Amino acid sequence: MYPVYLRKTDDRRDFVRSVVKEFWALLCEAESVFIKPNIVSYEPYPTTTHPDALAALLELLPNSRVVVGDGPAFDAGSADKLLEQHPLRDVCREFGVPLVNLYKLGMESRASSRGFSVKLSTYPTKFDLVISLPVLKEHMVCGITGALKNQFGLLARFERIKMHTGIKNIHRSIAELNAILTPDLLIVDAVETLLAAQEVRHGGHRTRLGYMLAGVDPVALDSVGVRLLAEVDPDMQGVKPEDIPHLQHAIKYGLGNPKPQTAHL
């Protein structure tokens, strides 16, 4: 069982290199890799994944067929235009890697073992390995967004609308989504964060936090993330992982460890 690897740093590239070295036995077997950044909107970091995090990963996967992809928020405008203009597009061009719009690659209904069904992109399942690159932030609906919530970018537009309007429980949906499709490796950027909301356009306040995290357990990563956010937000002090509704569901479903060991990397 891997711990949560944690480093107080602002050097994303060096941390990613260390992660790749630590998980090389996993990575070296993969002939194809799908990378899922956070491209929720047109806003740059820390709303979305920092270009350095993606670039550092791409330069260390030269022998794999790599595709980067996401489905931006349904209220963020044209997904094609957004992806074309986002800073991560330049990184993908530099490395000759496609940046794909998941909305255009077909959606399927999948159900968890509890019979909870969501319509989502199954495109990542075509790859040997899936790596997620979330940003740790506060979220005005979900409390926090990080490892678990980054999977939201796989969902069909109408699924997201149903969740944000209360037709479907968004918190349970996030947990069930992770039960259906889980990344193989997650590298979470918490060098900077947003407090109060997940995007600047929604009222998020940019704040330095100063950490990078990595691991294979999204529940463990988000549980550590809750503790880290308390360092810069007094309102988060005393908050436990199970106080975050989607984390509570994920813990109940046995999707990970809310009390992980941490290790310096």
Condensed to tens digits (0 to 9), the pLDDT of residues 144-176 reads 999 999 999 999 999 999 998 999 999 999 999
Best CATH choice for the domain 4-264 from the list 3.40.50.150, 2.40.30.30, 1.10.3720.10, 3.40.50.11440? 3.40.50.11440
Tens-place pLDDT, residues 52-84: 999 999 999 977 899 999 999 988 889 999 999
Q: Is the pLDDT of residue 131 over 80?
A: yes
What was the pLDDT predicted at 104? 95
Name which residue leads in pLDDT, 155 or 29.
155
State percent of the chain over pLDDT 90. Answer: 94
What was the pLDDT predicted at 41? 95
Cis peptide, bond prior to residue 218, ω within 30 of zero: no
- Reported pTM: 0.97
Q: Is the pLDDT of residue 34 over 90?
A: yes
Q: Is the pLDDT of residue 242 over 80?
A: yes
What was the pLDDT predicted at 140? 95
Tokens of 76: 């963020």
What was the pLDDT predicted at 259? 96
CB atoms within 10 A of CB 237: 10
- pLDDT band for 222, please (50, 70, 90 cuts): very high
